[in-house]
């Protein structure tokens, strides 16, 4: 990514030191200077007031104030500048998925997967989607768990029924500022989807392609556990930009998570990183930390396969209670510690997606004896 120099309206004597200072400020997620990362879109000056424009390729609006303060302090060493006026924007890249046609109105598709059930994948999916929205993105979520849809309850819209304005396409629900679609909206409360694999895969394709999605920066897909028909359908027919793998630290979950990584490798979908859920339990009475399911399993897995560890989430009662109430933690306690962890994960996911445009995807090698 590179900024157009024609948008820089500074004298040659001032331009070079300003660019040097901005590029010395390393973005904590892109791990590049702001100029190298292509974030600097405008440089102008009126008197001693510098007008700076920044555009990030990942959502991070909760950090805007700290970024402006840090940059202003660095530019203060220049005698020609007394004040910095900074405008910050966010614009994700539109990722090409090769032979797979892009989805109308959707810029990037993120698959959230796990090798096995019970690791908190759906809870992670819905909070990731809401965290991306909290950081300034337009977000939708698709509940691809055909056999066990949970989004209607988790998002607090169990009674939503899609309608079809034209007899072909159907509406999505809106909950907590994001768009949502689920097979659960079309089934009765106790009704089960008793379908064979191809039927379930076909239902997923319909949900995805026949929903009237609004303009979205990101569509998060909550995948069913495992590596079967639905996962293959998604990888072959949907322009997935990248995948997030959710696991717990225990050995059996890690073993299954490796299969998820291997599956995405085989279908050439970048693995954006690993979320370690239920990493530890923090006693509410004494503050003692216990690693109930083992320690640092996700860390070691990320290191072994050369992918980022996106975050570690605690085992806390309120995370489960919040989704049961239909108000996920990122909304229920938006400034709390857990919500901030999810926002950190969201920023890392967005940045990893941006980096896949500028560097080769890390090759992940998995041997049979691991």
Annotated binding site: 115-122
**Nearest to residue 279, comparing CAs of 317, 245, 311?**
311
Angle formed by the axes of helices 317-324 and 121-134, to 10°? Answer: 80
* Burial (CB count within 10 angstroms: exposed 0-12, middle 13-18, buried 19+), residue 249: buried
- CB–CB of 131/343 below 8 Å? yes
Beta bridge partners of 175: 178
Strand (E) or helix (H) holding 139: strand 139-143
Annotated binding site for ATP: 115-122
State residue 217 phi and psi, 5-degree precision.
Answer: -75, -40
Helix residue spans in the chain (DSSP H): 12-24, 64-75, 121-134, 151-154, 197-209, 229-237, 251-266, 297-305, 317-324, 329-332, 337-355
Which residues, 6 or more positions from 12, have their beta carbon under 8 angstroms from its beta carbon? Answer: none
- CB–CB of 226/338 below 8 Å? no
């Amino acid at each position: 990514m590179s900024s157009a120099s024609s948008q820089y309206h500074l004298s040659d004597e001032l331009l070079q030191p300003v660019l040097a200072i901005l590029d010395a400020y390393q973005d904590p997620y892109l791990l590049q200077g702001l100029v190298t990362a292509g974030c600097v879109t405008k440089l102008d000056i009126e008197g001693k007031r510098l007008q700076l424009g920044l555009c990030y390729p990942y959502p991070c609006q909760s950090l805007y104030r700290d970024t402006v303060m840090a940059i202003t302090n660095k530019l203060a060493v220049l005698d020609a500048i007394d004040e910095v006026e900074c405008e910050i924007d966010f614009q994700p890249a539109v990722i090409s998925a090769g032979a797979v046609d892009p989805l109308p109105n959707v810029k990037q598709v993120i698959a959230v997967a796990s090798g096995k059930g019970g690791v908190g994948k759906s809870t992670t999916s819905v909070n990731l989607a809401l965290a991306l929205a909290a950081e300034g993105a337009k977000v939708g979520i698709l509940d691809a768990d055909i056999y066990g849809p949970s989004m209607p309850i988790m998002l607090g819209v169990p009674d939503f029924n899609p309608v079809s304005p034209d007899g072909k396409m159907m509406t999505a629900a809106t909950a907590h500022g994001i768009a949502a679609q689920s097979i659960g909206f079309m089934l009765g409360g106790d009704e089960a989807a008793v379908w064979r694999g191809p039927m379930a895969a076909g239902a997923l394709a319909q949900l995805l392609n026949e929903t009237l999605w609004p303009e979205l920066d990101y569509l998060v897909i909550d995948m069913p556990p495992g590596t079967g028909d639905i996962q293959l359908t998604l990888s072959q027919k949907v322009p997935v930009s990248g995948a997030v793998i959710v696991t717990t630290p225990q050995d059996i979950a890690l073993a299954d998570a490796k299969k998820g990584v291997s599956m995405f490798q085989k279908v050439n979908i970048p693995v954006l990183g690993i979320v370690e859920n239920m990493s530890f339990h923090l006693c509410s009475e004494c503050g003692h930390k216990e690693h109930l399911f083992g320690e640092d399993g996700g860390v070691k897995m990320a290191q072994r396969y050369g992918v980022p560890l996106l975050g570690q989430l605690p085992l806390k009662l309120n995370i489960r209670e919040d989704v049961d109430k239909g108000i996920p933690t990122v909304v229920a306690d938006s400034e709390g510690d857990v919500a901030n962890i999810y926002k950190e994960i969201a920023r890392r996911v967005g940045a990893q997606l941006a980096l896949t445009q500028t560097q080769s995807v890390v090759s992940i090698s998995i041997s049979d004896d691991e």
